[in-house]
Amino acid sequence: MKQKHGNADGKEPTDLSSEDDRGSTGSRLIEFLDEMHATMPDVPEEEAQRDIEEAIAAIRNQSKP
């Protein structure tokens, strides 16, 4: 959680989180995404879209209680 500190002049609080913290978080996110992409199957966009549409249709066609 970012720490905030009020300015002496009463203006908006100043964000005290360091740029290093944001850089570290960004680096971890990039590392995570790289790992996920390495394990994901290579599926053509059209096939993925078709799968999504089929799943949506199946949910919409379920009998409601």
Q: Look at residue 40 in the predicted model and tell me its pLDDT.
A: 86
Span 25-55, pLDDT tens digits: 899 999 999 999 899 888 999 999 999 999 9
**Domain of 47?**
4-60
Asked if residue 29 belongs to a domain, the reply is: yes
Number of domains composing the chain: 1
Asked if residue 30 belongs to a domain, the reply is: yes
Length of the chain: 65
Backbone angles phi, psi at 15, to 5 degrees: -75, 120
- Other Cβ atoms less than 10 A from the Cβ of 1: the count is 4
- Choose among 37, 39, 55: nearest CA to 47: 55
Asked if residue 65 belongs to a domain, the reply is: no
Asked if residue 45 belongs to a domain, the reply is: yes
- Alpha-helical segments (H) within 1-65: 19-39, 45-60
pTM: 0.40
Backbone angles phi, psi at 28, to 5 degrees: -65, -40
